[in-house]
Amino acid sequence: MCGIIGYIGHEQVAPILLQGLRRMEYRGYDSAGVAVCSPEKGLQVKKTKGRIQVLSDMIHGGADLEGTVGIGHTRWATHGEPSNINAHPHVSESGKFALVHNGIIENYMEIKEALQKKGVQFASDTDSEVVAQLLEYYYRDTGDMLEAVSQVLERIEGSYGFAILCGDCPDTMITARKDSPLILGYGDGFSFVASD
Ligand code: GLU
């Protein structure tokens, strides 16, 4: 099993995400990644095939990513080989949305084909990227992150834990789950989400 960690608060988030990912390392994984959001820098995404230490070295223990809101993921591939491109977080075409996903989107191919017919370019072979692209597609109509997530959840079938960031809403994270574990922790001025 793979893992999700998310944090929203006042501390620099990237080292916290790396620490959370390390705690879930025992579950097994083939790749790892993080996305950090800040008003100044927008969405910053780093991911790689291989160990969390490789990811940590890439971002100098988290020092390279500035921001206090972020999500992290360890992947156990179900759709698409273990690779840098198939690692999470997945990002929508314009870079507006980033998400991490545990689980399987059963009807991803039908949605992918429909979006491709509308000209959406996909970067990965995963079922998960479909959700990032669909979020952006719905968001274009409403400009409302929560509404876009609600519409996506109506459309997809399967099992999921999601943690979602949007560059337009740098102080917000939306999570959702179905048939896949995801727990929330509330502290004084911060919140966590984790799959374990
Ligand atoms: N189905 C997704 C993928 O293959 C998520 C796998 C996971 O839960 O790590 O990328």
Sequential DSSP letters for 95-147: S-EEEEEEEEETTHHHHHHHHHHTTPPP--S-SHHHHHHHHHHHHHHH--HHH
Residue whose CB lies within 8 A of the most ligand 1 atoms, among 90, 126, 160, 180, for a mutation test: 126
Contacts of 154 (CB under 8 A, 6+ apart): none
Q: Which of 37, 122, 123, 121 is closest to 72 using CA atoms?
A: 37
DSSP helix/strand/coil, 21: helix
Instruction: Give the residue among 113, 182, 171, 110 at the shortest CA–CA distance from 145.
Output: 171
From first CA to last CA, the distance across the chain in angstroms is 10
Ligand 1 mean position to 101 CA, how many Å? 6
Nearest CA to ligand 1 atom 7: 102
List per-residue pLDDT tens for the chain, 196 residues long: 589 999 999 999 999 999 999 999 999 999 999 999 999 999 999 999 999 999 999 999 999 999 999 999 999 999 999 999 999 999 999 999 999 999 999 999 999 999 999 999 999 999 999 999 999 999 999 999 999 999 999 999 999 999 999 999 999 999 999 999 999 999 999 999 999 9
Closest C-alpha to ligand 1, atom 9:
75
Residues with Cβ < 8 Å from 155, sequence gap 6 or more? 111, 134
User: pLDDT tens digit string along 178-195?
Assistant: 999 999 999 999 999 999
What local confidence, expressed as pLDDT, does residue 29 receive? 97
d(CA 181, CA 155): 20
Task: Quote the ligand 1 centre to 75 CA distance (angstroms).
Answer: 6
State which of 88, 112, 131 you would mutate to test the pocket of ligand 1, scoring each by most atoms of that ligand within 8 A of its C-beta. 88
Q: What is the DSSP code (8-state) at residue 189?
A: S
Give dist(CA 100, CA 164) in Å, integer: 7
d(CA 124, CA 121): 10
Q: How far is the CA of 73 from the centre of ligand 1 (A)?
A: 10
Q: What is the pLDDT of residue 1?
A: 56
Helix (H, G, I), strand (E, B) or coil at 67: coil
